[in-house]
Amino acid sequence: MPFLRLLFPLVLGVCVGFYLPVHWWYVSSSLFFFVAMVVVASNGAMSKSYRYRWVFGLLLFGLLFMLGLYRTVEESRCCKDLQEEERPILMAELTEQPREKLNSYAVEAWVEEESLPKGGYTLLLYVAKDSCPLDLSRGDVVAFPNSLFRMRTLNPGEFDYEAFLRLRGISGSCYLPTGTWQRVAHRERFSLTSMAWNIQHYLSEKLIRYGLSGKELAVVSAMALGNRDYMETSLRNSYSATGASHILAVSGLHVGVVFWVLDKVLKFFFRSRFRWIRVPLLIASLWGYAFITGLPASVVRASFMLSLVCVGKLIHRSSSVYNTVSASAFFMLLYNPFYLFDVGFQLSYAAVFSILFFHAKVKALQTFQSKPLSGVWSLFSVSVAAQLGTLPIVLYYFHQFPVYFWLSGLWVVPLSSVVIYLSLFFFLLPEVEWLCGVVAKLLSWAAWLMNAGVGCMETLPGALVENIRFGGVEVLVSYLVVFVLAVFWVRRNLRWARMLLLSFAFSFGVFGLSGFLVSRGDGLAVYNIRGVSAVNRYGRGINELSCFGDDKLVSKVVSPFWVDHNLPYPQITQRSLFSVGGKAVYCLRDSTFRGKVTPTPFQIEVLVLGKDAVASAEALTHLFSFRLLVLDSSNSWSFRKRMARECERLGIPCWDVVEKGAWVLEKHFEDEAGLNDG
Identify the CATH number of the domain in which residue 129 sits: 2.40.50
pLDDT tens for 35-58 read 666 665 666 555 555 566 667 677
Q: Are residues 282 and 419 located together in one domain of the fold?
A: yes
In a 3-state reduction of DSSP, which class is residue 523?
Answer: strand
Could you report the per-residue pLDDT of 372-400, keeping only the tens digit for each? 888 888 888 888 898 899 999 999 988 88
- Is residue 324 within 8 A of residue 252, CB to CB? The reply is no
Instruction: Say if 47 falls within a structural domain.
Output: yes
Could you list the residue range(s) of the whole structural domain that residue 582 is in?
523-673
Q: What percent of the chain has pLDDT over 90?
A: 10
Q: Indicate if 567 and 639 belong to the same structural domain.
A: yes
CA quadruple 208, 214, 215, 218: dihedral, nearest 10: 40
How many angstroms separate the CA atoms of 459 and 237, rounded?
Answer: 12
Examine the pLDDT at 83 and tell me if it is beyond 80: no
Burial of 228 (0-12, 13-18, 19+ CB in 10 A): middle
Assigned domain for 479 exists: yes
Confidence of residue 565 (pLDDT cuts 50, 70, 90): confident
Q: How confident is the model at residue 655 (pLDDT cuts 50, 70, 90)?
A: very high
Beta carbons within 10 angstroms of residue 587's beta carbon: 23
Any idea what the Cα angle at residue 335 is, between residues 333 and 336, rounded to 5°?
65
- End position of a domain, from candidates 487, 518, 549: 518
Nearest-10 crossing angle of helices 472-491, 371-398: 150
| CA–CA dist 35, 43 (Å, integer) | 13
Q: Kindly state whether residues 495 and 568 are assigned to the same domain.
A: no
DSSP state of 149: B
What torsion, rounded to 10 degrees, do the Cα atoms 41, 46, 52, 58 define? 10
Whether residue 329 has pLDDT greater than 70: yes
The continuous run of DSSP H or E covering 132 comes out as: none
What is the helix (H) or strand (E) element at residue 589, kind and residue range?
Answer: none
| Alpha-carbon gap, residue 216 to 248, rounded angstroms | 12
Residue 677 has a pLDDT of: 42
Domain membership of residue 274 (yes or no) is yes
Question: Is residue 294 in a domain?
Answer: no
> 371-398 and 405-428 helices cross at what angle (nearest 10)?
100
| 338 lies in some domain | no
* pTM greater than 0.85 (yes/no): no
Split at pLDDT 50, 70, 90, the class of 443 is very high
Task: Examine the domain organization and report whether 116 and 249 are in the same domain.
Answer: no
Report which of residues 659 and 527 the model is more confident about.
Answer: 527
Could you tell me if 19 and 166 lie in one domain? Answer: no
pLDDT at 80: 76
CA dihedral 53, 54, 60, 63 (to 10 degrees): -140
Question: Within 364-468, where are the H helices?
Answer: 371-398, 405-428, 433-458
Q: In sequence order, what are the residues at sequence separation of 6 or more whose Cβ sits closer than 8 angstroms to the Cβ of residue 454? A: 238, 239, 242, 244, 408, 411, 412
Considering the domain architecture, whether residues 91 and 70 belong to the same structural domain is answered as no
CA proximity to 121, closest of 172, 155, 164, 157: 172
Judge if 511 and 612 occupy the same domain.
no
Amino acid (1-letter code) at residue 465: V
pLDDT of residue 34: 65
645-651-657-659 Cα dihedral, nearest 10 degrees: 50
E strand or H helix at 478, and its extent?
helix 472-491
Total count of domains within the chain: 5
